[in-house]
Structure 1
Amino acid sequence: MSESKAEKLIQSLIRTVSLELLLLITCLSGDHIMTLSNVKKSMWAGALVDNTTHGVVGALSWAIVIDLDLDPRKIVACLICSLFSMAVDIDHFFAAKSLKLKAALSLKNRPSFHATSPLLLVVILLWILSLFLKKIPCLKTLSLCLIIAVFSHHIRDASRHGLWLPPFGETTPLPIWLYITSTLILPLLIKVIYQNFVIV
């Protein structure tokens, strides 16, 4: 291995470890802020903190996958992943058939975008489609971005409500250690897939 390749590998490793630490801090601090009395008392504050945390977790997770540097395209990609992760909660308003936050947060059942198993089907279909539409290479990247954005959202929610896996039912709420560990491991696993099957 040449010196330049070794240096690049070390720099990439340092970036990955740094981003993993930021991801851990984001999860712990976001969840801690949600427990503060001022946040608990305000429906708007709680929703803002929760959704912002989802967005930051999504951005940092994708940053790990693509080995974020100062490339503007990579920064934009992280912002897009962040928006995808936050957009999952839009289904609360769809299910409530209202733009009122109180109605969106008072649902008796979980809305459709919070179902994990259908997402797997969408990702698999996108991946298969990418094999036939080779002129559209972004389909593979999109499928992995969706995994990061939506799975990280679902895993974080699962610490309170469990994972919803229709038609198989729901899991019990994930212990904090499992939720944190899963959140940290997910981007590392997707990074391996990204580097071996997407980057050419």
Structure 2
Amino acid sequence: MIQSLIKTASLELLLLITCLSGDHIMTLSNVKKSIWAAALVDNTTHGVVGSLSWAIVIDVDRDPRKIVTCLMCFLVSMAVDADHFIAAKSLKLKAALSLKKRPPFHATSPLLLVVILLWILSIFLKKIICLKTLSLCLITAVFSHHIRDASRHGLWLPPFGETTPLPIWLYITSTLTIPLLVKIIYQNFVIILV
């Protein structure tokens, strides 16, 4: 129990450091001058935040299955930005970053609907716990991306509109709290495979 708390606290600290350092690096002049550097730093930070968040949820250890799910969360958190290219109908980074409106994977309300539907489906299928795990992994990966972006653009909640950009304290607090809340759900409602 104590070791688990120490591990969670350490991962939370690492998550905080990742958020602050990733955001700080984005402000450096060399990064600002290069859209490639800015995109790489921003997207990598999204991935690391997503994977650390999932590591907190599952109380990661040396189990290869847990490490694979953290890597999956890393990739999903980064893949959210693929919609920029889809919406731009171009593989050019400049086109992807010059959109007039937000691309579809950045909409938070449809994500919540998908997660709820996966959860309900898992209840009806009873023994399909992977759907519950998938839904929690998805919300952890994508929502961590949305929250981080919301510090600059607000949350997009179609059809209800958008929020104003989140203050830094709310973005950081939300980023640190969400994995803890998802962990409670995971531990209480998902049967952990041994």
TM-score by length of 1: 0.95
Q: For residues 126-171 of structure 1, what are the alpha-carbon distances to aligned partners after superposition, in whole Å with 9 as ceiling and x for unaligned?
A: 0000011223220000000011001000000000000000011000
Post-superposition offset of 1:55: 0.1
Aligned to 1:154: 146
d(CA) in 2 for partners of 1:134, 1:35: 48
Q: For residues 99-130 of structure 1, what are the alpha-carbon distances to aligned partners after superposition, in whole Å with 9 as ceiling and x for unaligned?
A: 00000000000000000001010000000000
d(CA) in 2 for partners of 1:163, 1:135: 34
Query: 8 Å contact 2:22–2:42 — kept in the other structure?
Result: yes
Query: 8 Å contact 2:122–2:129 — kept in the other structure?
Result: yes
Aligned to 1:180: 172
Gaps of 5+ in 1: 1-8
Over aligned residues, Cα RMSD in angstroms? Answer: 0.7
Amino acid at match of 1:174: L
Aligned to 1:5: none
Q: For residues 14-65 of structure 1, what are the alpha-carbon distances to aligned partners after superposition, in whole Å with 9 as ceiling and x for unaligned?
A: 1000000000000000000000000000000000000000000000000000
Equivalent runs, 1:24-35 vs 2, <5 Å: 24-35=16-27
Amino acid at match of 2:158: P
d(CA) in 1 for partners of 2:160, 2:123: 29
d(CA) in 2 for partners of 1:40, 1:74: 35
Aligned to 1:43: 35
Equivalent runs, 1:117-128 vs 2, <5 Å: 117-128=109-120
d(CA) in 2 for partners of 1:80, 1:91: 18
d(CA) in 2 for partners of 1:172, 1:123: 24
Aligned to 1:140: 132
d(CA) in 1 for partners of 2:125, 2:25: 45
Query: 8 Å contact 2:129–2:191 — kept in the other structure?
Result: no
Structure with larger Rg: 1
The answer as to 2:153 corresponding to 1:191 is no
Gaps of 5+ in 2: none
The answer as to 2:123 corresponding to 1:94 is no
Residues matched between the structures, number:
192
Percent identity over the alignment is 88
Amino acid at match of 1:61: S
* Over 6 Å off, 4+ runs: none
Match of 1:173, SS state, is coil
d(CA) in 2 for partners of 1:111, 1:133: 33
Aligned to 1:81: 73
d(CA) in 1 for partners of 2:111, 2:63: 29
Aligned to 2:102: 110
Alignment counterpart, residue 65 of structure 1, candidates 57, 63, 68: 57
d(CA) in 1 for partners of 2:127, 2:57: 23
d(CA) in 2 for partners of 1:197, 1:83: 25
d(CA) in 1 for partners of 2:36, 2:44: 12
